[in-house]
Amino acid sequence: MSKKDRRKVLARIWGTPTSRDIDFIDEGNEIVVASSSKGIVAWWLQIFQAVYPNIKYLEKGDVIKLKPTVDVSVKLNKTTRLMRITGKGHWRWFVDNFEQLLDEGNNEAETLSTADSSENSVTRYLQLDKDDALVQDLLDQIPEGGGIMQNDYIMRLWKSLLDDWFGVGAIVYVVTPRIDSERLFQMMLLMLRNKGTGFGVTLVTPTKTTDGEKFAKVMDMTKRRLKEVKVLAPSGHQKRLVSDVKVQWALDSLTIVHEDFSTNFIAAYKDDEAEVLTTTAHFHKSHFHFNLKDNVCYNRLPTNDLKRNYLLPLNVTSNIF
């Protein structure tokens, strides 16, 4: 199996809902499971003992060693909070069993999507707390029937609504004839922040804008940004904001539809209820990095009306019926 195929497998498993902030690093001869969560080692021990009732472990210094099968060794480090999975059968065991371990860890969790948010580097980077009142306060600023709003307000509302919709597991659509790498980067961070809620997201945008900007180039720039942005770790060292596995998960979780049009809106539905925010602002630096003013209108409507009046005219049909 190629490194990319292994990364896609790890990304799928990482997408399992978890009550702790974890990450995977594929070292070839071992899989490293990292976490900044306090008490993570005790959490893992509790999970292993529940899934493997007869398992025994050896503790030497800061390292705890377990053997879930004869050809797999698991080492937990109480100082670094790393789990190292090694042995001849480590890959097959991880693929076949790790989701079960994560599911077991969720059994006693009060919440999955927002747990550990105070320690999550993506959450800190976005500087966006889960606050339903904030979303409603922003919506309340839109005059009845819509109105003209400032660029910074539109950006805050755009991020807050997407975060809210991802957080409740809605089916989300981002429709714009122009999107830049910064907005796409932020959207993917919001996806990562809300992994495990069961949301779906589709970006509808042309393959090339009227001024010749190719979406493929925007996507390449976004991938580089995802891989290059670093944040300060609790240890005081710089670390990547988004790992390769998380980048892969975000890419695999985003559906892209190419159509030619000139409208802008974000929308979401769950069950029979839908919301749509329409605006004249492109989701692009040309609107958000300058002191521009644009029309904004927000509506709640039945899901069937959203599909019929907003999505079908753009030929977005393959994933809505």
pLDDT tens-digit map of 143-185: 999 999 988 899 999 999 999 999 999 999 999 999 999 999 9
Residue-level pLDDT at 12: 96
Out of 81, 96, 114, a domain closes at 114
Residue 226 lies in a domain: yes
Out of 58, 81, 114, a domain closes at 114
Q: Is the pLDDT of residue 1 over 60?
A: yes
CATH at 73: 3.30.310
**Residue 240 corresponds to which amino acid?**
R
Asked if 32 and 109 sit in the same domain, the reply is yes
Residue 321 lies in a domain: no
d(C-alpha 319, C-alpha 11), whole Å:
22
Asked if 27 and 10 sit in the same domain, the reply is yes
Average pLDDT on 292-304 reads: 94
Asked if 80 and 130 sit in the same domain, the reply is no
Other C-beta atoms closer than 10 Å to the C-beta of 154 total: 24
SS3 category, 265 = strand
CATH at 178: 3.30.870
Asked if 100 and 161 sit in the same domain, the reply is no
Out of 70, 98, 114, a domain closes at 114
Asked if 170 and 293 sit in the same domain, the reply is yes
Residue 319 lies in a domain: no
Asked if 208 and 282 sit in the same domain, the reply is yes
Asked if 260 and 202 sit in the same domain, the reply is yes
Q: Which domain range does residue 270 map to?
A: 121-314
Q: Work out the pLDDT band at 255, boundaries 50, 70, 90.
A: very high
Residue 20 lies in a domain: yes
- pTM equals 0.89
Residue 320 lies in a domain: no
Asked if 61 and 168 sit in the same domain, the reply is no
Long-range CB contact pairs, 278-281, < 8 A, 24+: 278/146, 279/154, 281/151, 281/154
Q: Is the pLDDT of residue 119 over 50?
A: no
Asked if 216 and 171 sit in the same domain, the reply is yes
Domain tally, the chain: 2
d(C-alpha 185, C-alpha 149), whole Å:
24
Residue 245 lies in a domain: yes
Asked if 279 and 179 sit in the same domain, the reply is yes
Asked if 110 and 206 sit in the same domain, the reply is no
Structure tokens at 211: 């001024």
Asked if 198 and 263 sit in the same domain, the reply is yes
The closest of 221, 139, 129, 156 to 184, measured between CA atoms, is: 221
Residue-level pLDDT at 113: 47
